[in-house]
């Protein structure tokens, strides 16, 4: 079976990985076996320069591949090259590094990691200590928000730093082949609801939190609060109608859309104390699916990460 016949969805990643392996194998036959790390980096960089992700693999004439080429690629850039690891050293540099807090955006990443079973190491980003504004954190996410990740085994076996919870969910779904349907239409619908959360649910519910529980709570003028309460209730109505007759946002399949949406619903009626404000009892379908979500063991674990 040729690598690009396996699965359209992952073909570009697999082709890229295969191409790296094969180009490295070709290179490795030419270079002396006692190489310095610098030498390896130079030869790998050269190998990678040879083709793009969509280029079909060029096989060496005898079809041989290097035994552990991806491990060699992984050493091109090491985790200590990322300043964030100076503030939060990696005890397990082979594992995905998660920088987070147990907020509705933070737990999207930890729930996904728990659901997929990928080995990871979590680092607490304390808002009390303003860790998110430290130069080390900003070096990974200039937008000073959690969650952020650093995967030592990213595309091509190289480390990948990533922020924005939606991008992290898509990345982890593609990396593991979990929670993002393979069927093209279902895949786009999953992304559609993920964007609905990122662009609507998160920002609107977050404003309700500000005006109902935090800094805006004491404002006499309740019009800003009510504006966000009304918009949040409208969004809950959209969800409720959609969930009628569905187990999850995508029907029978549990996906990254659920992992993005339900931590926010939980937060709105729990931590933000807006259950009565949005008259949540109307949204029986949302309540039903929220209950199913919260019953999942991986969700229960992910909601507590990082602990404390």
Ligand X SMILES: N[C@@H](CCC(=O)N[C@@H](CS)C(=O)NCC(=O)O)C(=O)O
**Near ligand X by CB under 6 A: residue from 121, 164, 174, 240:** 164
Query: In the range 205-224, which residues lie near ligand X by CB under 6 A?
Result: none
> Least distance in Å: CB of 160 to ligand X?
16
> Least distance in Å: CB of 50 to ligand X?
35
- Asked whether position 267 contacts ligand X by CB under 6 A, the answer is no
- Identity of the residue, 28 or 132, whose beta carbon is nearer to ligand X in the bound complex: 132
**Near ligand X by CB under 6 A: residue from 12, 59, 145, 242:** 145
- Identity of the residue, 66 or 191, whose beta carbon is nearer to ligand X in the bound complex: 191
User: What is the 3-state secondary structure of the chain?
Assistant: CCHHHCCHHHHHHHHHHHHHHHHHHHHHHHCCCCCCHHHHHHHHHHHHCCCCCCCCCCCCCCCCCCCCHHHHHHCCCCHHHCCHHHHCCCCCCCCEEEEECCCCCHHHHHHHHHHHCCCEEEEECCCCCCHHHCHHHHHHCCCCCCCEEEECCCHHHCCEEEECHHHHHHHHHHHHCCCCCCCHHHHHHHHHHHHHHHHHHHHHHHHHHHHHCCHHHHCCCCHHHHHHHHHHHHHHHHHHHHHCCCCECEECECCHHHHHHHHHHHHHHCCCCCCCCCCHHHCHHHHHHHHHHHCCHHHHHHCCCCCC
- Report d(CA 293, CA 192) in Å as an integer: 20
**Near ligand X by CB under 6 A: residue from 103, 110, 190, 207:** 103
- Asked whether position 134 contacts ligand X by CB under 6 A, the answer is no
**Near ligand X by CB under 6 A: residue from 132, 158, 190, 207:** 132
By the 8 A CB rule, do 107 and 168 touch? no
CA nearest 287: which of 228, 255, 239? Answer: 239
Q: Which range in 141-149, 177-185, 207-215, 246-254 contacts ligand X by CB under 6 A? A: 141-149
Strands 96-100 and 120-124: parallel
> Least distance in Å: CB of 254 to ligand X?
20
Residue 13 β-bridge partners = none
**Near ligand X by CB under 6 A: residue from 134, 144, 230, 285:** 144
> Least distance in Å: CB of 145 to ligand X?
4
Q: Which range in 5-13, 45-53, 144-152, 210-218 contacts ligand X by CB under 6 A? A: 144-152
- Identity of the residue, 72 or 256, whose beta carbon is nearer to ligand X in the bound complex: 256
- Identity of the residue, 104 or 155, whose beta carbon is nearer to ligand X in the bound complex: 104
- Identity of the residue, 44 or 111, whose beta carbon is nearer to ligand X in the bound complex: 111
The two tokens of residue 140 are 């990974």
> Least distance in Å: CB of 268 to ligand X?
13
**Near ligand X by CB under 6 A: residue from 158, 165, 232, 255:** 165
Query: In the range 68-87, which residues lie near ligand X by CB under 6 A?
Result: none
- Asked whether position 146 contacts ligand X by CB under 6 A, the answer is yes
> Least distance in Å: CB of 116 to ligand X?
18
Say how many Å lie between the first and final Cα of the chain, rounded.
Answer: 49
- Identity of the residue, 155 or 263, whose beta carbon is nearer to ligand X in the bound complex: 263
The residues that touch ligand X, with contacts defined as CB under 6 A, are: 103-106, 127, 132, 144-146, 164-166
């Amino acid at each position: 079976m040729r690598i690009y016949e396996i699965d359209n969805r992952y073909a570009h990643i697999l082709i890229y990985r295969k191409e790296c392996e094969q180009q490295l194998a070709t290179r490795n036959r030419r270079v002396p076996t006692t190489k310095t790390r610098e030498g390896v980096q130079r030869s790998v960089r050269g190998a990678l320069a040879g083709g793009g992700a969509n280029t079909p693999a060029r096989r060496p004439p005898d079809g041989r591949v290097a035994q552990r080429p991806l491990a060699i690629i992984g050493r091109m850039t090491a985790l200590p090259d990322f300043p964030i690891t100076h503030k939060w050293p990696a005890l397990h540099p082979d594992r995905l590094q998660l920088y987070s807090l147990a907020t509705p955006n933070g737990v999207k990443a930890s729930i996904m990691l728990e659901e997929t079973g990928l080995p990871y190491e979590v680092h607490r980003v304390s808002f009390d200590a303003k860790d998110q504004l430290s130069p080390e954190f900003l070096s990974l996410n200039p937008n000073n928000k959690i969650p952020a990740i650093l995967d030592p085994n990213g595309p091509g076996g190289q480390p990948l730093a990533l922020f924005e919870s939606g991008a992290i969910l898509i990345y982890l779904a593609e990396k593991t082949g979990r929670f993002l349907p393979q069927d093209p239409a279902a895949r786009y619908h999953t992304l559609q609801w993920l964007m609905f959360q990122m662009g609507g649910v998160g920002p609107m519910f977050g404003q309700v939190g500000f005006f109902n529980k935090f800094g805006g709570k004491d404002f006499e003028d309740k019009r800003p609060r009510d504006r966000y309460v009304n918009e949040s209730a409208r969004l809950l109505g959209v969800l409720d109608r959609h969930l009628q007759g569905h187990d999850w946002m995508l029907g029978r399949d549990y996906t990254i859309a659920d992992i993005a949406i339900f931590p926010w619903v939980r937060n709105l009626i729990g931590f933000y104390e807006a259950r009565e404000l949005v008259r949540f009892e109307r949204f029986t379908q949302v309540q039903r699916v929220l209950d199913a979500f919260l019953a999942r063991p991986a969700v229960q674990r992910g909601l507590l990460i990082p602990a404390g």
